[in-house]
Structures are given as structure tokens and as C-alpha cells.
A = this chain, B = another copy of it.
Amino acid sequence: MEIQFLGTSSGVPTNSRNVSATAVVKSNSSEWCLVDCGEATQHQVLKTSLSPQKLAAIFITHIHGDHCYGLPGLLASVGIGGRTEPLIIVAPEKIKEWFLATQQFTDLHLPYDIVFYHSEDLGKVCVGELTVSITELSHRVPSYAYVFTEIKKANNIDQEKLNAAGIPRGPLWGKLQSGEDVIFNGRTVKAENFIKPASAGRKIIICGDNDNPDLLKNDIADCQLLIHEATYSKEFAEKAKMYGHSYAEQVAKFAHKSQLPNLILTHFSSRYQIGAGSAKSIDELEHEALNVYEGRLFLASDLQRFCLSNAGELKKIDKI
């Protein structure tokens, strides 16, 4: 699984960071999902190798504009690009209402269907080889985390081992795969010796705005990667609480106590700049988090792509 950040700024865009949008891409595939769609997300997509026509589903975490104002433009452009395949949108119900109003007032006609799911009562939705569920967060308006879990592959038989044991391909293999012991050449062949366990399935959580990371405690146990906002540093802890946001140390502490292997912080206040002179440096947030978290930590930047390996190892990749 790969993750590509399309926007990592909170509230307003800056010259180096756009407002929120994150792509989830199946490795070695062109199919992808989008979490949040701040204004100019389609402009960011133009700078990547992501194809808008291969977008399978859009997930919106909450109704604030910096997470959704890019939706009508992206959907319109995808239509002009000739899409006919239906598109899944999982979002708070108000986003659906807003989008329908937008279609009505701006004469927007799409040549494809949108299949809406309300975040409020999502349960689970399947997109390709992923199931996606929600966890409620705490913000000024209802806000959600989307939990992406790979669907477990069926048990596989170990073909190499079977060939080595001289057991011929055919009905015996089928029985062994289904877990049934078989008789071959007068000997009992135990299924358990020839079955490779199903892979556990990677799990990542991508959060909307949230001032209480502990709300993720039921989902975090077997999660390989958490992507969480860190709008502020601890210096602005009160301001963070007032606006329903988290600060870097707060998220990192939660990740530490949850023994989370990989954490990416994003959604930074525009006061934090890269290589800043008079403004505050983004490094403050990194130092603050590293002080309390020993897992693998990254601060997201626009267009940066990451790969989460099958073994759960996260690393930056160059491919855009």
C-alpha cells in the first residue's frame, strides 16, 4: 500500500502546502482512494502520476471547507475527462446535501453515477481489496477517522512443498487447501503441513480533525500506520483545544503508549514553515513528537509518497 499526500496544510493553503487531501494507492496498481478533498486537490493530482479516471472512492472526514471545497471541481473535471464508471463517496450526510445543492445551483451534470455512503452509519464499505470502516473523533463538528484494512487473502497451499513431496496437482490439492487431510500412496498427508497462513492484511488509519487521539484506542492495536493531524505544537495546546485540534506531542504520546510502529503527522498550521526565517519552523513539531515517540515518525509534505510494505515497514519513495 502506498500513501501520497496532496495537501498538508490546515485551514488555508500556503505556497508550499495545499489544504487536506491524501491518496491511498494499491501498490503496483493504478487504482486509488482519496481521503478529503480540499480546494485545488485536482490541481495537485495533475502534478502526480495518479489518474483521476482510476479514482475508486472518496472519503470526506468532516464538513469543513479545507477538507471538501475541492470536491465539485474534481468531480466535474473527472466528468469532462469522460468517466462513466460509478464513483463511491463516503462522507457526512451534509456533504451529500451540499453536493446536490451545488449540482443544482451551478448546472453541474456528471456522465457517471455517484454512490453515496453516509459516514454517520457506515458500518463497512469494500473498495477493491480494502474494507473501510469509521471511528468517531472529536472536533467542532462531527469528524471521522477512516480505517483501511486489507481484505485477508484466502489460505494458500504451498505449491513448492507439494511438488517436492510428489503430490500431483488435482483434487488432492483442492482438499488440502480446504484444510482436509488426504491419503496419498497409503500415507496420511496432513493439510496443516502444506497450508501457508493467510497474510494478516495491513491496516492504516487516516484521521480527520481531532482533539482527542485516545478515541482511536480500539482501532490502534493491530494498525501499522496512523496518519493524524498535528495542527500545533504544545506551545499552542490551549488554542488547539479551543479549535478542536491536536498538538504534536499529544498525538505522539498516544502513538507511543499504543506501541504504534509508524506515525505520519500532517495538517499543519500555516504558521509552521519549512526552513522558516521569522515564522515558526516545522522542525518544532518533529522535535516535540520525537521526544516522546520511538516508532518511525514522518512529517507529511505535499506530493511526498510513502510505501507501507507487507511487513509493515514504512518508507518514503521518490515516485510521484
The chain A residues found within 8 Å of chain B, CB to CB, are: 11-15, 18-19, 39-40, 42-43, 46-47, 63-66, 68-70, 72-73, 76-77, 80-81, 94-95, 97-98, 101-102, 105-108, 140-141
CA–CA, A42 to B42, complex, Å?
Answer: 15
Pick from B13, B95, B102: contact of A43, CB under 8 Å: B13
Contacts of A95 in B (CB 8 A): 105
Q: Are A107 and B14 in contact (CB under 8 A)?
A: no
Specify how many copies of this chain sit in the oligomer: 2
Q: Are A14 and B65 in contact (CB under 8 A)?
A: no
- 23 A-B residue pairs with Cβ-Cβ distance under 8 Å, sorted by A, are A12-B77, A12-B81, A13-B46, A15-B46, A15-B47, A18-B43, A19-B73, A39-B43, A63-B107, A64-B106, A64-B107, A65-B76, A66-B76, A69-B69, A69-B72, A69-B73, A94-B106, A95-B105, A97-B105, A98-B101, A98-B106, A101-B102, A107-B141
Given A43-B13, A77-B12, are A68 and B98 also a contact pair (CB < 8 Å)? no
Q: Are A43 and B40 in contact (CB under 8 A)?
A: yes
Nearest-neighbor residue (CB-CB) of A101 within chain B: B101
Given A46-B15, A47-B15, A76-B65, are A70 and B106 also a contact pair (CB < 8 Å)? no
